[in-house]
């Protein structure tokens, strides 16, 4: 029997998660430079188009198919290719299997889109279009199977403790963050990195993107309960308070380090909190969620400056927020997990070190796999067609050079500087002005 309430909740949650990718586009677009904002946003929208089709063709099957033989712990089979076999099928939770496929499709889309922020201002759009399906096939689909589809991460047990990743701390955020780091090695640093200002060109865009992500994240986390139940309620509350705590921690660090609080810092702190609570959303108490949020906000506020110390150009702080935030959230479970609905206690609640150990193994396994395979994919693309744009394109701006359009009509703004709109000439300077 179809449970209409559960089905409706998953449909709404899928729509909320889909909204998150345009949120990423606005966040990244606002953080980039004015001459490349459209290119940055199009990278996210291209991910929606490519990954959605690929998910139907093979993605859902490779992530959630049963598979067979020695590869079962690492990748699924082909029984769901095209999704036709899911039509009319109902899951044990009372929702159509196609709803689950659609919900998880949105996770795949946003995971790929997150990577793009690290390579802003210097990647060929055509190379990105080739990278997206290759990375989804070789990295995201297998890792999703590891964590949620019956793979080795989901089956890992030490001392009775199993890996906890409620909504994607490893499969989404550490995965995307490690991939972003790998691509910074492939593409190198932007022209002028560390020597000239590369400030966000549109902070209202940044705040809008953060707001869309924050809103959509309730579907991302609470929807992962797969029912409109107490677990979803806990995930929703924890998502809100962890994010709020992270913004406070980030602003505190900013105030202590730089003497002022910024809009960019508030938005970045919010994303850090959202990332960190994702794996723990239904396995910590609201007080624990505040702890997770505060820790992630403080740590990530420092982590974004590591790129200057170690000389990797993570343009929009994907590594410092998503990879580091995902690690913080995943490992904090080992300390703050509470025995909720048959779960496992962390160290602070009388549990053993086993939970922390399995979390650490999952973090390291996903991080290393994504880092290495992404680097190989990026290098192959670079060798075959070149991944980085020529220097003159970077100088002139990707929007005009690659897409033959710009986000802002600068030429029309120049035309508006005619006599009728120019400042009046001060008395006594008429002759000089002529």
Which residue, 335, 238, 245, is CA-closest to 293?
A: 245
What pLDDT does residue 340 have? Answer: 80
Residue 376 has pLDDT above 60, yes or no: yes
How do residues 377-423 score in pLDDT, each as one tens digit? 999 999 999 999 999 999 999 999 999 999 998 665 555 555 444 44
| Contact (Cβ atoms closer than 8 angstroms) between residue 346 and residue 338 | yes
Query: What's the gap between Cα 378 and its chain centre?
Result: 19
CA distance 16 to 374: 28
Q: Can you give 106-160 as a three-state secondary structure string?
A: HHHHHHHHHHHHHHCCCECHHHHHHHHHHHHHHHHHHHHHHHHCCCHHHHCEECC
Share of the chain above pLDDT 90, in %: 90
| Contact (Cβ atoms closer than 8 angstroms) between residue 363 and residue 280 | no
Place of tokens 């790129």: 307
Report residue 411 as tokens: 């030429």
How do residues 237-252 score in pLDDT, each as one tens digit? 999 999 999 999 999 9
How do residues 5-27 score in pLDDT, each as one tens digit? 999 999 999 999 999 999 999 99
Residue 201 has pLDDT above 70, yes or no: yes
Share of the chain above pLDDT 70, in %: 94
Place of tokens 């190989």: 376
What pLDDT does residue 197 have? Answer: 79
What pLDDT does residue 410 have? Answer: 65
Residue 86 has pLDDT above 50, yes or no: yes
What pLDDT does residue 412 have? Answer: 59
Residue 256, C-beta contacts closer than 8 angstroms, at least 6 positions apart:
none
Main-chain dihedrals φ then ψ at residue 275, nearest 5 degrees: -60, -50
| Contact (Cβ atoms closer than 8 angstroms) between residue 152 and residue 74 | yes
| Contact (Cβ atoms closer than 8 angstroms) between residue 276 and residue 293 | yes
Place of tokens 């509470």: 338
CA distance 64 to 75: 8
Residue 285 has pLDDT above 60, yes or no: yes
125-135 vs 354-384: helix crossing angle, rounded to 10? 140
Dihedral sign (CA 113, 116, 305, 311): positive
Report residue 278 as tokens: 């994702």
| Contact (Cβ atoms closer than 8 angstroms) between residue 281 and residue 338 | no
Q: Is 1.10.3430.10 the CATH classification of the domain at 4-403? A: yes
Which residue, 7, 172, 5, is CA-closest to 103?
A: 7
Which residue, 20, 305, 331, is CA-closest to 165?
A: 331
What pLDDT does residue 427 have? Answer: 42
pTM over 0.85? The answer is: yes
CA distance 282 to 212: 22
CA distance 121 to 40: 8
What pLDDT does residue 419 have? Answer: 46
- Identify the burial level of 84 via C-beta atoms within 10 angstroms of its C-beta, where 0-12 means exposed, 13-18 middle and 19 or more buried: exposed
CA distance 393 to 400: 9
Percent helix, strand and coil across the chain, each to the nearest 5: 70, 0, 30
What pLDDT does residue 420 have? Answer: 45
Place of tokens 């179809």: 2
Residue 434 has pLDDT above 80, yes or no: no
H/E segment holding residue 145: helix 141-148
Q: What value does the mean pLDDT take over residues 82-95?
A: 96
Residue 194 — pLDDT band, cuts 50, 70, 90?
A: confident
How do residues 127-173 score in pLDDT, each as one tens digit? 999 999 999 999 999 999 999 999 999 999 999 999 999 999 999 99
What is the DSSP track for 225-252? GSSSSHHHHHHHHHHHHHHHHHHHHHHH
HSE at residue 422, side-chain half, CA atoms within 13 A, is 9
Domain boundaries, the chain: 4-403
Place of tokens 């120019």: 422
Residue 315, C-beta contacts closer than 8 angstroms, at least 6 positions apart:
32, 117, 118, 119, 120, 121, 122, 190, 198
Neighbours of 99 (CB within 10 A): 23
| Contact (Cβ atoms closer than 8 angstroms) between residue 14 and residue 96 | no
How do residues 317-352 score in pLDDT, each as one tens digit? 999 999 999 999 999 999 999 988 667 899 999 999
Q: What value does the mean pLDDT take over residues 260-272?
A: 97
What pLDDT does residue 425 have? Answer: 39
């Amino acid at each position: 029997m179809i449970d209409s309430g559960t089905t409706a909740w998953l449909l709404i949650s899928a729509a909320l998660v889909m909204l998150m990718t345009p949120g990423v586009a606005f966040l990244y677009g606002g953080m980039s430079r004015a001459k490349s904002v459209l290119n940055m946003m199009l990278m996210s929208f291209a991910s929606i188009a490519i990954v959605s089709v690929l998910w139907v063709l093979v993605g859902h099957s490779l992530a959630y198919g049963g598979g067979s033989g020695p590869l079962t712990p690492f990748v699924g089979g082909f029984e769901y290719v095209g999704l036709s076999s899911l039509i009319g099928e109902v899951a044990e939770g009372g929702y159509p299997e196609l709803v689950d496929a659609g919900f998880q499709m949105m996770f795949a889309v946003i995971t790929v889109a997150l990577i793009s922020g690290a390579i802003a201002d210097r990647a060929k759009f055509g190379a990105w279009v080739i990278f997206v399906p290759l990375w989804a096939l070789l990295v995201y689909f297998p890792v999703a199977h590891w964590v949620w589809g019956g793979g080795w991460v989901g089956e890992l047990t030490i001392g009775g403790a199993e890996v906890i990743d409620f909504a994607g701390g490893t499969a989404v955020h550490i995965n995307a963050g490690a991939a972003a780091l790998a691509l910074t090695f492939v593409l190198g640093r932007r022209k002028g990195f560390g020597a000239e200002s590369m400030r966000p060109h549109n902070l209202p865009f940044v705040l809008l993107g953060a707001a869309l992500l924050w809103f959509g994240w309730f579907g991302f986390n609470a929807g992962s309960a797969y029912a409109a139940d107490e677990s979803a309620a806990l995930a929703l509350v924890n998502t809100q308070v962890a994010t709020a705590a992270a913004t406070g921690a980030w602003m505190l660090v900013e105030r202590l380090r730089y003497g002022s609080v910024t809009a960019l810092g508030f938005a970045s702190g919010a994303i850090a909190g959202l990332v960190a609570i994702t794996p723990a959303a239904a396995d910590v108490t609201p007080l624990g969620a505040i702890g997770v949020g505060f820790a992630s906000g403080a740590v990530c506020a420092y982590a974004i400056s590591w790129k200057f110390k170690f000389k990797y150009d993570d343009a929009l702080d994907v590594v410092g927020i998503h990879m580091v935030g995902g690690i913080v959230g995943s490992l904090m479970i080992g300390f703050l997990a509470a025995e909720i609905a048959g779960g496992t206690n962390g160290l602070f609640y009388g549990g053993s070190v086993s939970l922390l150990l399995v979390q650490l193994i999952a973090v390291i396994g996903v991080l290393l796999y994504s880092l290495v395979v992404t680097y190989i994919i990026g290098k192959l693309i670079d060798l075959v067609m070149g991944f980085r744009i020529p220097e003159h394109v970077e100088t002139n701006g990707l929007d005009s050079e690659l897409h033959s359009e710009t986000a802002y009509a600068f030429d029309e703004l120049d035309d508006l500087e005619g006599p009728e709109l120019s400042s009046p000439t001060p008395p006594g300077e008429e002759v000089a002005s002529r």
